[in-house]
Structure 1
Amino acid sequence: MLAVLSGAAAHAAAAPLPAVARAAARLAAAATAAPLPAAALALAAAVAGLGVAAAALGVAPAALGVAASAAAALGVAASAAGAAASAAGLGVAPAALGGAAAALGVAGSAAARQQEVQQQVQQQEVQHQQVQQQEVHQEVQQQEVQHQQVQQQEVQQQQVQQQEVQHQQVQQQEVQQQQEVQQQEQVQQQQVQHQQVQQQHEVQQQEVQQQEQVQQQEEVQQEEVQQGE
């Protein structure tokens, strides 16, 4: 049984624990070489020191898990040794073993608390990441909405420009129609004026012809008068 106790203590001393925990494990290993009652008391003191030192220094949860496992092995070995010593009449104090078990319970409670704290911190980090993702998603949605609004404004501007172009085209058509009407009126006026000029010229020619005829008749009459004389 002492060999089992010594092996558990040596395993605890070799584990990757803080310096205080390793020192406590070494004390427990040294205590196994003493007579059995003294070894049991030293083992209880070492285990209690291991739990208090781990709780005070805030050892990492992984290291606390290893320490708790080693302490549990030491507690099992101590219980077996205490039972064997009581049976042999050596009078190991049950209170010492009980104190060791209580110390192990304190260490386990501290480790459980630290694990709960770490879980809460991890949950808070996850919630923070979720909030950040939601904020990023909201920003992306806002940017998409703004982009759509910009596109709608561009479409509206294009429609306004098209309407202006159509209005200008209509105005140009109206101007062209007015010009064509004016040109037609001018042509008609020119034609009327030309006809009037032609008519006047014809009338003048007729008047000239009539005057020539009258003069010829007068000349003929004068000749007849002269011949009669």
Structure 2
Amino acid sequence: MSTSVHRAPSSSSSPSPSPTQPHILDNAAWAALTGPHAHLAERVGRAARYPTDVSPFTALEDPADPRAWDDLAALVGPGTVTAVTAAPSVPAGWEIEESGAGVQLVDTALFAEPAPEAVRLGPADVPEILDLITLTQPGPFLPRTVELGTYLGIRDRGRLIALAGERLRPPGWTEISAVCTHPDHRGRGLATRLVRAVAAGIRERGDTPFLHAAASNTRAIRLYESIGFTLRRRTQFTLVRTPGGRPEEKA
């Protein structure tokens, strides 16, 4: 990673879509799975998902299209619980198992710079990453999530104490995710340094950082807004069960 400092791009570098056209971040998972992450995608027609050990997310080309929901059912199987993005409602026969409000924020004024103390994390670090994720609960992280992009960590006497990395990658954008700090080391600005460092790498390849947070996590939202992110829209995280017999009910 370069040691140069990266400031937020001007607003003219990220043109806004026409008011009549949806923004690519409105369906970021679909844009990623049919774009830069297409090599990871498992797809049936108008539905796609990540491998179940990479990310829990599935996506629909158009959540208003019943055919896309049919394709999703074929992709994941009957009676299966799966996480669906960008879907405000589900068709008849589907069940909502869990739903939560979220927010999507985009980089508008972030000061991005490398963190000299940060180290690149890879497959060998996954057990330690999973331990930190379990302790801090920043969101889903699976054994192969590190394949989605760059993950950076900060260590203290060899122990991983802070983490941030890249998740969804729609064309022109990259999501910053898994931002967390061990409770014993909070208050030192570690998360902010890692967010800035991950953002510097994102900017290096010409993408714009964005991120998601639970709407209830007001502390994190205030932090992100204070360092240069702006609320773009409110989102809904939904776990749904596909129609048909539940797997445990099968003979």
Classify the TM-score, shorter chain. Answer: under 0.3
TM-score by length of 1: 0.22
Q: Which of the pair has the greater relative contact order for Cα pairs under 8 Å at 6+ separation?
A: 2
Higher share in strand: 2
- Bigger Rg, structure 1 or 2: 1
